[in-house]
Chain A
Amino acid sequence: MTNFQPSIKLSPRRYRRKGEPYVWLSGGTMALGMVMIVAIVGLVVIRGTSSFWPSEIEQFTLGDGRVLTGSVEAERPLGLGDLPPKFDGTPWKQHELPASRENLGPAKLDGTPWKDEDIPSEAPRELLIMQGNQESGISGSYFTWVKSDIPDLQRFQAGNPHSYASAVVARKPIAGIARIERLEKGVLTGFVVAVKDGDEVKIAKTDGRTLDEVWAVFGQERDKAVAVYEERVRLETDELGDANAEIAEYDRRIKRIAYDHRDSKMFVAAMQWLNKQYDLWVAKRTPPEEIMSAHGGDTGNIDELRRRQLAEYETILQEWRGTLSTYIGDIGKLTAQYPLTDAERVYIAEVFGIMHVRADVFATLFSLTDLKVKQIRANEEKATFTLETADGRSADIPLVKVVRAWRPNEMGFFDKLGVYFDRAWEFLTAKPREANSEGGILVVIIGTLIMTMLMAVAVVPFGVITALYLREYARQGAIVSAVRIAVNNLAGVPSIVFGIFGLGFFCVIVGGSIDSLWYPELLPSPTFGGGGIMWASLTLALLTIPVVVVATEEALASVPSAQREASLGCGASKFQTIWKVVLPQSMPGILTGTILAMARGAGEVAPLMLVGAVKAAEDLPIDGTSPFVHLERKFMHLGFHVYDLGFQPPDTDKTKPLVFSTALVLLLLIGLLNIFAIRLRNRLRKKLQTSHV
């Protein structure tokens, strides 16, 4: 017989002693955390993805008689305090909304009975109506907050006439209305009633055509106009851009030579004279407009006309190119005027050479492309369409400005889905327009990616070497402990402090030294001496070093001493042991540190504002112009972009949806980087797995 008795009743004390409440407590804490994470991510995902949906366009009649035609872009609850009391004089309570018949009383204020359509089915709220139409002739308010679903409009009008002015008294969808996104000045809302090419009317509703027929022609003509526009943009960015880059490079070389001889008065004077003469020559160029007006005769065929203009301009340019020598003369003539030393004459000869090459580029590639661009520009806005607003006003808009157009009230679900993905795709792959409030964020994504990669490339070797020294080589003692504590404490330094350090050290001291050594001719405008992607990456690398050092130290410590002994016992040196045995086995831990560092660095914004992230940077740090990698360039960053969209824009209503979309992209980007690194780590772990016998 034993004394053991199974306990049937669990007293609270025994229960507590069993540890059950702590299990529940820790489980509950984790559940709370999970709920919060899901809520945050869910909010970002929902708000971030819903903004591309083409919502219906309705007509809203307001209390003061205004008529708005637009889509609902946002809504917020209307405070109960704004509502006049119920019919029995008591205030409204939240649970009584949306209003029901008993709360509204037996009859309306004027004695007529309530009808079903008088009773709102939703609680009162404010809606943000986007109308757009910032165009002379049809302009109205772009965004308007209106009050909707007021329980008792008559009482509301009597009790709160000021608010009633912006209350919706009627709303109805309108057939055939279009929403048009433009390159500039935002969206349009209205009917497309005519399409014109110059003075020629291609199709018009007034000729008895239906809106659908006009819409079809509008689509075709718009595609044609955009194709021409895209050709013009290509010419501008590619060919004109290349020519400009080349000319800028020649300018830089001439400036450099001038800078190197800044102490020789004669040389400076000669350079001044040369530059002046060159500018005089440039001023004599026949502007493309002159050719275009001289040869503007009506030939009927625009392509033929353009070819003729181009050929004519080419001969004029050739002739003009030949006159350069009469302006800058030759070295003999120059040195007769400005006595130069022999060494200086060599450099002046080089300047002559560069000026001639520069003149070649200027007189051929640059000027001819200039003409082509201007030819297209002169005609591209001729094709227009007529937009008629719901209140009957109309305006002619160039077709070339149309980015996208759709008629949401005529579209089925899948058509809308098409527009949705089209807009989402544009957001991901286009450049920003209109002070970032429209267009896409491709440059921002790439800027963030490059910066994060550069940061990882900088931080991993530095952090790993530091950790290796601290853990494997340094004699453990007070100094190493102090260093370790200092490194760990770096993680606690506010990131803006790192930004200030980066600005002071990298940009000003290091960048400034680079500029004065290698780019003195461009001073005072900085090359490396300002913010740039390299300095931003290095600043973030400093910021994230503790993460890598701590993770690496732990990984090194976790390599069993038996492995080190085995290697040393085979006659390996300490370095060989570290390189061949310890480091490979620490790799998963090092990668964990890298993942954490990248996640931390990619999301950091504050220091970047000081060392190179900017609101708008068209040029990427990596592109097709030599030397292809431009680490001195400023860049755009997703985190900074979120801040910029949310707090800096001229119109927050316009950019608010983009804040969430950008935040979502940032989350996804960090998530993808992490998934990549985690998969890499898991593969390594699998390879290194030690079976415990």
Chain B
Amino acid sequence: MENGAVIQHQQPRAESGTIPHPRFDFGEGKKSRREGEIEESVVLVENFNLWYGKSQALKNINLAFPKNRVTAMIGPSGCGKSTLLRSINRMNDLISSVRCEGRIMLGDADIYAKDQDVIQLRKHCGMVFQKSNPFPKSIFENVIYACRINGERDKTKLEEICERSLKRAGLWEEVKDRLHENGNSLSGGQQQRLCIARAVANDPDVLLMDEPCSALDPVSTSKVEDLILDLRENFTVIIVTHNMQQATRVSDYTAFMLLGEVIEFGRTDKLFTKPDKRQTEDYITGRFG
């Protein structure tokens, strides 16, 4: 998969004082960026393989997801993009037949290490699902669910977190007067943004989005897309999408996957205009898939 971007893993600089992350070079930067600018990565996938029972779903994946950027994963159905996304917060653990090999690093922690606390990991990786799934509780309780899980009881703090998260999810203005109504009373787009608010309440490092707009109408979709662009300020966003226009609209980087392999990875504008690989071109021009 050595195409589109030259990746240089760098050892974390111990003296930097910030959370050490592997760094990598994307070669050609975005137009607004300097050529060869170094981006900091948050999630690093190394030689990752995954099997459902006997069938291999992911084949030797190597990817790095840059910090405070939106990375889209595109590809036809069954190419393994959702599986890869769900591997990052170990959601695949729920399926007993899954077996995997290789490493995924979050920061400098190997999330598949034996002593890795899955619950802590998931607190650092918020997830938004294809279909909005608010709990049948009040809007307030939905947003602060993670805090409740963590045992937070301070009411002012909870209210503060609720407001901040809803503001980040762009929902605050719409629901601030009815925080104690059932989350299910919201419209579809609002419900999805409520789920985003719930996912960001934990202040995660990474926000994983599994086709977040596939069940939404165009107006709600555009709202969520705007939101994703805003979220980039605070989070690293990884988004799986079937919609290539959406990928071009919201993402900084795009990975194209096919049959469990990453075919091409690179800056979105480059991948969609001058793809290196034949398969990528075929896919984005609609010749197959």
Cβ B132 vs Cβ A693 within 8 A: yes
A567 to B149, CA, bound (A): 9
Residues A585 and B146 in contact, CB atoms below 8 Å apart: no
B23, CB-defined interface residue at 8 Å: no
A568 and B91: CB pair below 8 A? yes
Asked if B140 is an interface residue, CB under 8 A from chain A, the answer is no
Interface check B135, CB cutoff 8 A:
yes
Determine if A25 is an interface residue (Cβ-Cβ < 8 Å). no
B202 interface residue (CB < 8 Å to A): yes
Binary flags per residue of A560-579, CB closer than 8 Å to B gives 1, else 0: 10110111111111001000
Contacting residues of chain B (158-211) with chain A, CB-CB under 8 angstroms: 182, 184-185, 187-188, 191, 195, 198-199, 201-202
User: A568 to B121, alpha carbons, bound, how many Å?
Assistant: 11
Chain A residues within an 8 Å CB radius of B202: 570-571
Specify which chain B residues have a CB less than 8 angstroms from the CB of A566 in the assembled complex: 129, 133-135, 195, 198
Is there contact, CB below 8 Å, between A693 and B89? no
Overall SS of chain A's interface: helix
B119 at the interface (CB under 8 A from A): yes
Once the chains are docked, how many angstroms separate the CA of A335 from the CA of B90? 80
- Size of the chain B interface, CB-CB below 8 angstroms: 35
The residues in B between 99 and 148 inclusive whose CB is less than 8 angstroms from any CB of A are 119-120, 122-123, 125-127, 129, 131-136, 145-146, 148
B219: Cβ under 8 A from any A Cβ? no
Q: How far is the CB of A686 from chain B (nearest CB, A)?
A: 10
Q: In the complex, what residue of chain B is closest to A476 when comparing beta carbons?
A: B96
Least Cβ distance of A185 to chain B in Å? 64
Q: B123, B131, B132: which contacts A571 (Cβ < 8 A)?
A: B123
Do B127 and A569 have beta carbons less than 8 Å apart?
yes
The one of A571, A690, A691, A693 in contact with B119, judged by C-beta atoms closer than 8 angstroms, is A571
The complex places the Cα of A572 from the Cα of B125 at a distance, in Å, of 12
Minimum CB distance partner of A693 in chain B? B188
- Within the complex, which residue of A569, A576, A691 is in contact with B185, where a contact is CB–CB below 8 Å? A691
The answer to whether A693 touches B187 (Cβ under 8 A) is: yes
Q: Is the CB of B119 within 8 A of A573?
A: yes
- Interchain CA distance A569-B91 in the complex, whole Å: 8
How distant is the Cα of A691 from the Cα of B96 in the complex, in angstroms?
31
Please tell me if B94 contacts chain A, counting CB pairs below 8 Å.
Answer: yes
Closest to B132 in A: A693
Could you say which of A562, A567, A568 contacts B131, with CB atoms under 8 Å apart? Answer: A562
Query: Is A691 in contact with B184, judged by CB distance below 8 angstroms?
Result: yes
Asked whether B91 lies within 8 Å of A570 as measured between CB atoms, the reply is no
A571 x B135 contact (CB < 8 A): no
Q: Which of A569, A576, A581, A689 contacts B89 (CB 8 A)?
A: A569
- 16 extra interchain contacts, Cβ-Cβ under 8 A, other than A565-B129, A569-B89, A689-B182? A565-B94, A565-B127, A567-B145, A568-B91, A568-B94, A569-B91, A570-B126, A570-B145, A570-B201, A570-B202, A571-B120, A571-B150, A572-B146, A573-B149, A585-B136, A690-B136
Chain B residues close to A by CB (< 8 Å): 89, 91, 94, 96, 119-120, 122-123, 125-127, 129, 131-136, 145-146, 148-150, 182, 184-185, 187-188, 191, 195, 198-199, 201-202, 215
List 11 A–B pairs whose Cβ atoms lie within 8 Å, in order of A's numbering.
A562-B133, A563-B135, A565-B127, A568-B91, A568-B122, A571-B146, A571-B150, A572-B149, A580-B149, A691-B185, A693-B132
Interface residue ranges, A against B (CB under 8 Å): 475, 560, 562-563, 565-573, 576, 580-581, 584-585, 687-691, 693
